[in-house]
C-alpha cells in the first residue's frame, strides 16, 4: 500500500510545527527553555511546563551537587558501613567453620608481618574471638552500627572507608611494636570513637558525652583481661589524626589536604613496620 505525500500548504497558511527530534510528528508543545517544538516522547517534566532532553541535561550540569559535610558526595545510604558489617559477619562464619585455620592464617601476628605476611595488618581487623565467645563480635558490630552511618554521612563514603582502614592499620602497627598477637575490629572501632570526638568538636557540638564514652572504653581496655591495649590505643590515636585532617582541612583545597593527610599517615605507618623490629610479649589478646 502506498501513501500520497501531503499537499503543499496553501498560500498564506501557517505550517504545522513538528518535533525537532522527530520531524514526522506534529506538535504544538514547546520546550519552556529553548522554545523548540517537542512531541510527547521528548517531553520532560519541569517546574513549569515541559523541557526537551537537551535542556534537561544542560540544567543538570548546572545544578550544584549536594556534598557531605567534610567533602565527598552526599550519602543517603551508608553502604560502606553495611559492607563492613557484612564482611565481619562473613569472616566470623569462616571462623565458625574452621576456627584454627582462619585465625592462624589471618590474625595479627607481629613476627608473621615481619616475615612478609603484610595482609595480617588488615585481615586481623575482620576476625573475632571464635565460638563459644560471642560478646566480642556483638559489641564491635553494635558499635559499628551505631557510629558508622553518622560518620559516613558527615565524611562521605570514601573518606569514611579511609578512616576505618587506616585506624585498623594503626592499631595493628601498635600491636606490631608493643605486642605479639591480636584480632578484632576494635582497632577500627576505637578510631571511630576518636573521629566522633573530632567531628563533634569541629561542628561545635557538646563532646563531653563522647569523651565519657572513650574514657569508659579505655578503662575497660586495661581492666578486662585479654584485651589488646596496643590495638585499642593505636586505633584511637590514628583515628583522631585522620579525622582531624579531614574535618579541619581548609575548604579551598579540602580534597587535596585530606588526601595528603591520609597518604602521610599511611606512609608513616608503613615506615614504622619496615624500619622497626617487632616487640615480643608472651601472650596475645583480643581487640
Cα separation, 233 vs 192, in Å, equals 12
d(CA 25, CA 41): 10
More confident: 35 or 229: 229
Q: Report residue 10's pLDDT band, with 50, 70 and 90 as the boundaries.
A: low
Question: Does the structure show a pLDDT above 90 at 78?
Answer: yes
pLDDT band with cut points at 50, 70 and 90 for residue 17: confident
Q: How many other C-beta atoms can be found within 10 angstroms of the C-beta atom of residue 153?
A: 19
Task: Return all residues near 174 (Cβ < 8 A) that are at least 6 apart.
Answer: 230, 231, 233, 234, 235, 237
Q: What is the largest CA-CA distance in the chain?
A: 103
C-alpha cell at 190: 576505637
Is-contact 130 99, C-beta < 8 A? yes
With a cut of 90, say whether residue 97 has pLDDT above it: yes
pTM for the predicted model, two decimal places: 0.77
pLDDT over 90 for what percent of the chain? 58
Quote the CA–CA distance of 253 and 72 in Å, as a whole number: 13
Region 105-134 average pLDDT = 93
Q: Strand runs (DSSP E) across the chain, as ranges? A: 44-45, 50-51, 108-109, 181-183, 285-286
Are 128 and 174 contacting, i.e. CB atoms less than 8 angstroms apart?
A: no
Residue that wins the pLDDT comparison between 208 and 270: 270
Mean pLDDT of the region 257-277:
96
Give the pLDDT score at 14: 58
Q: What is the mean pLDDT of the chain?
A: 88
Average pLDDT estimate for 180-191: 94
- Could you read off the pLDDT of 98-119 as tens digits, one per residue? 988 999 999 999 999 999 999 9
Give me the mean pLDDT over the 263-277 stretch: 96
Amino acid at each position: 500500500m502506498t501513501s500520497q505525500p501531503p499537499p503543499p500548504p496553501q498560500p498564506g497558511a501557517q505550517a504545522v510545527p513538528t518535533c525537532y527530534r522527530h520531524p514526522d510528528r506534529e506538535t504544538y508543545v514547546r520546550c519552556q527553555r529553548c522554545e523548540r517544538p517537542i512531541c510527547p516522547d521528548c517531553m520532560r517534566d519541569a517546574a513549569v511546563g515541559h523541557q526537551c532532553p537537551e535542556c534537561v541535561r544542560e540544567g543538570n550540569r548546572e545544578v550544584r551537587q549536594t556534598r557531605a559535610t567534610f567533602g565527598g558526595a552526599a550519602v543517603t545510604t551508608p553502604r560502606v558501613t553495611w559492607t563492613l558489617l557484612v564482611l565481619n559477619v562473613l569472616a566470623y562464619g569462616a571462623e565458625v567453620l574452621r576456627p584454627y585455620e582462619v585465625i592462624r592464617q589471618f590474625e595479627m601476628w607481629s613476627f608473621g608481618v615481619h616475615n612478609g605476611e603484610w595482609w595480617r595488618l588488615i585481615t586481623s581487623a575482620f576476625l573475632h574471638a571464635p565460638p563459644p565467645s560471642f560478646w566480642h563480635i556483638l559489641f564491635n558490630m553494635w558499635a559499628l552500627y551505631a557510629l558508622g552511618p553518622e560518620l559516613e554521612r558527615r565524611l562521605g563514603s570514601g573518606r569514611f572507608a579511609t578512616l576505618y582502614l587506616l585506624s585498623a592499620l594503626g592499631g595493628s602497627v601498635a600491636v606490631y611494636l608493643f605486642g605479639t598477637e591480636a584480632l578484632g575490629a576494635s582497632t577500627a572501632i576505637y578510631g571511630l570513637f576518636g573521629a566522633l570526638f573530632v567531628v563533634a568538636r569541629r561542628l561545635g557540638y557538646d563532646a563531653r558525652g563522647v569523651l565519657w564514652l572513650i574514657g569508659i572504653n579505655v578503662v575497660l581496655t586495661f581492666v578486662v583481661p585479654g584485651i589488646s591495649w596496643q590495638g585499642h590505643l593505636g586505633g584511637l590515636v590514628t583515628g583522631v589524626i585522620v579525622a582531624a585532617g579531614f574535618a579541619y582541612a581548609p575548604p579551598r583545597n579540602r580534597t587535596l589536604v585530606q588526601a595528603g593527610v591520609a597518604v602521610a599517615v599511611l606512609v608513616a605507618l608503613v615506615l614504622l613496620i619496615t624500619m622497626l623490629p617487632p616487640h615480643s610479649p608472651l601472650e596475645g589478646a583480643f581487640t
